[in-house]
Structure 1
């Protein structure tokens, strides 16, 4: 039997029941390293027995055993096969909501035959409502080989409802489940099932997610600080129901106002800016600040150098052409990137960073969409308005017109839900820090829905409350990704293994001085480029020699 990796957590034999000590084997080729005693003579039978042996109330379970060598992560046609594992599908607290619909907290837990002692909860996103494939990695760690394939026990949840529509907002309990209760119940149930299957609790527990999943990670750090040893919060939606959604309405109104009209006078949102227009802006941003990291290479690593960019440099002196922007376009960009305000001038959310990733498809899909008609398909409309009218408003207001959003009065209608859903207010994390938890923030600089400035602002407040940045980095670090859109994509080195980074920090005490990142061969801007992602406030600075495609030519620097 091959040995597990050398960093496999140590087995605590005293915690194992006598019946499980017999399968404990010593590796024949690993220098005497113990192989975890998690195997069963009949893993398929052990999987089936979970349905009856589980100590869970108000929960229905079904199990399915996947033999080794029969399935690849995500059902891929090529690549390494998964090990044998048990897939447990559960439904906690099934009930009928006040809207007459059936509800339950659904979850999917995959338990490998040969467990490495680690538990990973992968976060959701959007309006949730689906069970994410637990054979895949977290949405903020595309560079991580399948954690299940590595021996992690992995769980996901639908957050208490089925379907990606936010119509569940009509049921008060479904709102609470989506805010925090579903994650609590899923984590507790998962750890109970792990104990039933393996005879002991996890050695280490991790959470990793992006967008809504990042919000869920922050929720755990605050409401349930003892559940996880390490939490990775990508593009954390910390102010989604009180800030980012307001910004989405603001941005939609600004862009729609300047969009051309169809034959009936209706505006075509996607045509407010052509792809050529956005590329023009991206090139101007790089011309303004790319060199501030020591080399002109199409990636502005020194993000603070871009704050002074002014799109007025692109304004046409005469008629509109492909080499300049109209005054209306310049004005809309200024308003959007400055962020929403009420009539008194009070900021309602942070602005957006100037970054060349705004010309990438991921930025357009959120802000402008691609519809060639007056029926918009931007995710600001298709996703955020759905969440706003069904869930973020209290009570729901399904007839609301987003183009009529009132920035003086409508934010108050979002405050009640924000109090239980948003996570920006706790900027101390005292309990999570005290229990020794580690926290990673990862955020793309061209994220069009959750501003990297908002994460930076939160981290600065967190640092101020914990003895400064140097002291705060002992338990929380922030990594900004130039060029990256929402969770991935864009002209960026957006492929990295944040899960292994967290494992090394938690289990070995190796705090990340940088995270190795690369652009995939399919990246049309910088195929195969590598870079170090640096902990804020540092950035990747060119050393002065070496290939600009190679991470070894860069060093993390604060100046």
Structure 2
């Protein structure tokens, strides 16, 4: 499969400027990947040692689930009742056989409640009673099953590669491009669908579809999504704890509202001159990346934990009269420090969790830094600008547009209060996962330390709150967190990453064997899986240290403790929302929206 996040990033650069497949399960922007190849080569310096064969994850033991054969013809699904006596209606619009033998499947397309579109692929001869929902990234708006959204975080997962899993994807109830939120104008039903309810409705209907086709319900149900797909997954675990047995949540945009308002808008604002041109330009990024790597990178050039990095950009300040690609001007240094600091209000209080992680500077290209020197920051070349344009105007409320975009957003406490009224609808910050635990559910969360699209500090905040609520011992029995150095948003980066988290999750669900070490491979490019370096990652709070040998081999690194003195909790204006009482449920009746907090 093509990598969903990276293919969208390149495609997006014709909207946000270049181009491939629009399908993605991730947050949709892997911003480092949109840079010119020559620049990426420069940014990857030090990462291109001896190429390695892909490091295989240990073969996890899975349950021996019997192959279930269809009990009806694929085409006959067109007349199937997908409500199955329940309140959620589903209709099949097409059902056609694709291929045959061990690779063949019944390709089913349909709708939920007449507005949410889905596509399901049901194996003809090889179905082992496993069901996988694929999360939808960005602001969704299209069905992304072609890319699957599972290849990068499930590289080599045997049930998937051998067509033994029923898979499904959904557009979550509206049509649109990933950073386009205009569909939300005066459309509260679509807002609620994307916020949380559409994924559950699709899950119920498609499970009924699978049950009809094979004559039995799935034995094991799994979820995999990254970015907004990760956010959707956490809502499932919190609100609908029996929908899935195992959930793989990647780089979740937990603070959805704050991220798509203040976080992205701040990045644009602090790097913009009055005429819209950037202060920090693309030609300066390699020098910044090099300096950060030299100051804080490990033996293999990765920043293991940005919280332990105290690099000062003033160390690469231009001399008086100098302004070339090797240094930063005083104005550019100020921009870098503001980006790393994150948005604050008039009282100096942070409006988002933590700050921009040090070590992800290559990801600023295509974000708040246009990839071409001389280009202004615009909707077609800046992910930060695109994602913070429509959300505050259309998606942060149910009614008429607010008139607020990143062009006029005020970084004040009053603006924060205004734009976060629907935090409880969008943000999956409820730490009460006791019902999911009681169901026997297992949760694996992963996040890249170099992620500039969705802050890794929000994930640490959430996991800390869950541990505090359910207890550390209870947490360890059902959840694992992996923090991955050098990985950008949804496995992107100058050297994209691949790993298999899904197989260990399946093993945990099916045999009780908890995940431990996972090997992450950094590959040459989206089209070339040659492994440039590999690293082990362990469940947080473990990290790794170099123990000698080939710096690009996972075998040269061993488990270690996180740096002393770092905190897993990042205070900001919305930290109070990380509570069970902040969860909002809404129903729509015509023009009336009724919401209650649980």
TM range (shorter): 0.7 to 0.9
| Distance of aligned partners of 1:392 and 1:222 in 2 relative to their CA distance in 1, 3 Å threshold | same
Cα 1:166/1:255, change in 2 over 3 Å: same
How far did 1:465 drift? 2.4
- Indicate the residue corresponding to 2:585 in structure 1: none
Unaligned runs of 5+ in 1: 12-34, 71-81, 95-103, 258-264
Aligned to 2:119: 108
Once residues 300 and 206 of structure 1 are traced to their aligned partners in structure 2, the CA distance between those partners, rounded to angstroms, is 32
Distance 1:492 1:480 in 2: 17
What is the match of residue 427 of structure 2? 422
Tell whether the 8 Å contact from 1:235 to 1:486 is kept in structure 2 after alignment: yes
Q: Deviations over 1:266-307 (max 9, x none)?
A: 2323xx32334222222222222224xxxx22112244422x
Q: How far apart are 1:421 and its partner, in Å?
A: 1.1
Please point out which of 147, 150, 153 is paired with 1:141.
153
Q: Which runs of 5+ in 2 are unaligned?
A: 1-58, 563-598
RMSD: 2.6
Task: Give 1:168's aligned residue.
Answer: 183
Verify: 1:215 aligned to 2:242, yes or no.
Answer: no
* Residues 1:313 and 1:88: Cα distance change in structure 2 (over 3 Å): same
Question: Deviation digits for residues 520-549 of structure 1, max 9, x if unmatched?
Answer: 243899943111122212112112x22112
Q: Which runs of 4+ in 1 moved over 6 A?
A: 523-526
What TM-score comes out, normalization by structure 2 length? 0.76
Deviation at 1:10, TM superposition (A): 4.6
Q: 1:47 aligns with which of 71, 74, 78?
A: 74
- Aligned equivalents of 1:84 and 1:297: distance in 2? 43
Question: CA 1:525/1:229 → structure 2, altered by over 3 Å: closer, same or farther?
Answer: closer
User: Contact (CA 8 Å) 2:81, 2:90: kept in 1 or not?
Assistant: no
2:135 corresponds to which of 103, 123, 129: 123
Match of 2:452 among 448, 459, 470: 448
For residue 357 of structure 1, report the CA deviation from its aligned partner. Answer: 3.2
SS at match of 1:536: coil
Equivalent position to 1:241, from 227, 249, 257: 257
Does the CA contact (< 8 Å) of 1:205 and 1:230 recur in 2?
A: yes
Counterpart position of 2:567: none
CA distance in 2: counterparts of 1:534 and 1:396, whole angstroms: 47
- Cα distance, 1:220 vs structure 2: 0.3
Correspondences of 1:79-478 after superposition (within 5 Å):
83-94=103-114, 104-113=115-124, 114-133=126-145, 136-138=148-150, 141=153, 143-144=155-156, 147=160, 149-164=162-177, 165-170=180-185, 171-257=187-273, 266-269=275-278, 272-291=279-298, 296-306=299-309, 308-319=310-321, 320-359=323-362, 362-370=363-371, 372-374=374-376, 376=378, 377-397=381-401, 399-408=403-412, 409-424=414-429, 426-468=430-472, 471-478=474-481
Change (3 A) 1:116 1:394: same
Give, in angstroms, the shift of residue 85 of structure 1.
0.6
SS in 1 for 2:536: strand
2:260–2:387 CA contact under 8 A, matched in 1: no
The partner residue of 2:97 within 66, 72, 77 is: 66
- Return the alpha-carbon distance in structure 1 between the equivalents of residues 212 and 341 of structure 2: 53
Distance across 1 between alignment mates of 2:288 and 2:405: 30
* CA deviation vs aligned residue, 1:337-368 (integer Å, no higher than 9, x gap): 11111101111102335443312xx4312222
CA contact (8 A) 1:9 1:117 kept: no
Structure 2 partner of 1:31: none
C-alpha distance in structure 2 between counterparts of 1:414 and 1:68, whole Å: 49
Gap change, CA 1:499 and 1:396, over 3 Å in 2: farther
Bigger radius of gyration, 1 or 2? 1
